[in-house]
Structure 1
């Protein structure tokens, strides 16, 4: 390229920028995926990585709730996970407690695959500091836990 030809320098810079952008995009892929509601679900607690035996003594699920999504608090295997998959054992009873992290109005509901509330397992929409959905008996129809007004606040339920 000639130093005196500004057109050649611009063309070279454009090509260099395009190559860098392509490399950047190619290098930014990871194993996280967005669900149909735009919520990010990490693979650390999803799919084949879940060990149901870790969940055998769990009877309380704790989540931080914010408009951007649920974040696991307890049990330890979901701590810090965005919209973590929750493992429940059919016939066992659970409490779901969530802590409001953004003072927004939220609730928690248990949904089936058809996005219908299972057995009236839903709380009122509130902006309280915390709220608990008590006495949830796990059944095979349960598929998701969700904040009704915020679609990105949704995670999967795996029934064992």
Structure 2
């Protein structure tokens, strides 16, 4: 079963603050890191879903190893934050909307996915208040006609 077939978007699942605590760096020399099979599978499922199939022709910015992964395990759910690591490809800044958050169940199913730039359905919209009503005759009207004295911005 492909990762995309396992997706069930549950907006009741809220993502943890992935940057609230200092992360333990797993790529430091001399340190021993032990991952459970469930954790490794969860990262693999999220990476495959986010980045798609990998082969020798996969662009650097789309490769699994060109990303950073933050993992938090809470109440049987493995939360994963994926971010592009621009340095891996000789870049200085990541692309816009180049990350995602995943909630993966203990069975390897995607419980929730939120890509950067997508609206977070778990957040209730805030009421901006009653505002000031605008008469229909004023909607879309420019209040100062351009006279050529000020250049247009485009």
Q: TM-score, normalised by structure 2?
A: 0.23
| Structure showing the higher strand proportion among its residues | 1
Specify which structure has the bigger relative contact order, considering alpha-carbon pairs within 8 angstroms and separated by 6 or more residues.
2
Q: TM-score, normalised by structure 1?
A: 0.23
